[in-house]
Amino acid sequence: MTEFIIHDDAQGVISRLQGVSLGRKRTSRHGNRRIRPVGFGFCRISRGGRHLTSGSADILARLAEVIESRRGGDPSRSYVAKLLAGGDDRILKKVGEEATEVVIAAMQGEKARIVSETADLWFHTLVMLAHHELWPQDVLAELMRREGLSGIDEKASRTAG
């Protein structure tokens, strides 16, 4: 039996859903949330039209740990070690290149390529964060801080100081 614990920040409630079998396409209803197992220990939580996949932040943390483990490694044997050894110049050039490729893919409307290029951008952004001794959790914490704020109000709060 699999148990998912879902925290609904909007209501401040912690809920439990038991008996969901991973790998089945069955959808269960639990309160105002729709939960569907999607395999490999992940479940999709639908709330208000938004889809969140539990475990998403975990993959970012795992990638960050792998990136960190490559720090100081042999640049001839590790792409990440080569990027980190090149410093901001090499890393930021790659981030800019990948961002441009995301924009081109989006303009062409090729969904698979948008996903692929975005994955490249996120990866290189994780390398940039590691270079600056930051972690994905730092960015996720900032996104959580901004959640529910008007984008206009949030931007004004940054420029007001």
In sequence order, the β-bridge partners of residue 16 are 5
- Residues 6 or more apart whose CB falls under 8 angstroms from that of 53 comprise 38, 42, 43, 44, 45
The pLDDT, as a whole number, for residue 153 is: 73
Read off φ and ψ for residue 47, nearest 5 degrees: -145, 115
The pLDDT, as a whole number, for residue 56 is: 62
The pLDDT, as a whole number, for residue 156 is: 78
The pLDDT, as a whole number, for residue 152 is: 81
The pLDDT, as a whole number, for residue 55 is: 59
Confidence of residue 150 (pLDDT cuts 50, 70, 90): confident
DSSP 8-state code for residue 149: S
* Predicted confidence (pLDDT) at residue 84 exceeds the cutoff of 80: yes
The pLDDT, as a whole number, for residue 86 is: 97
Query: What percent of the chain is modeled with pLDDT above 70?
Result: 63
> What are the pLDDT digits (tens) for 1-30?
333 444 433 333 333 344 333 333 334 444
